[in-house]
Amino acid sequence: MPGNSPQLPIRHQKRHRSLATSAVYLAKKRFADDAGAYAGLVPRRSQSGERDYNGRISKAGDPMLRSALYEAANNLLCRVKRPSPLQTWGKALATTKGAKRARVAVARKLAILLHRLWQSDTDFRWA
């Protein structure tokens, strides 16, 4: 590898390569609402007759992308000191629904936010 970066073991190179591939595929999606579904961060639905049940997350998407988004959401909620609207929304959700649900919800919003930023080719503003 050029520069001063250390060479990663092969297992980490494969993980970073597939995560980058899934991020590129996510950026090519047409609608931002599909970003959460591609990562597997939308609730499962069970419908039959008049019964309509929203369950846990589907986990149908890319597991590496989902774990990276979950990790980013965890860092945003726990470690980042600079406040942002997404962080305050996530912390308010954590007090009412629980920390794990809040992390999943923030991860889904991060996927949508990243998709919109990639589509419009703009930088993130803390505003």
Domain-wise residue ranges, the chain: 32-120
pLDDT in tens, 94-117: 999 999 999 999 998 988 888 888
* Torsion sign (Cα): 21, 23, 28, 34: positive
pLDDT at res. 87: 93
Alpha-carbon separation of residue 25 from 13, 29, 55, 59 (angstroms): 18, 7, 27, 17
What band does 12 get if pLDDT is binned at 50, 70 and 90?
Answer: very low
Q: What is the band of 91 on the pLDDT scale with cuts at 50, 70, 90?
A: very high
C-alpha span between 32 and 76 (Å, rounded) = 21
Q: Map tokens 């589907």 to a residue.
A: 58
DSSP, collapsed to helix, strand or coil, labels residue 61 as coil
Q: Is the dihedral of CA 18, 20, 21, 26 positive or negative?
A: positive
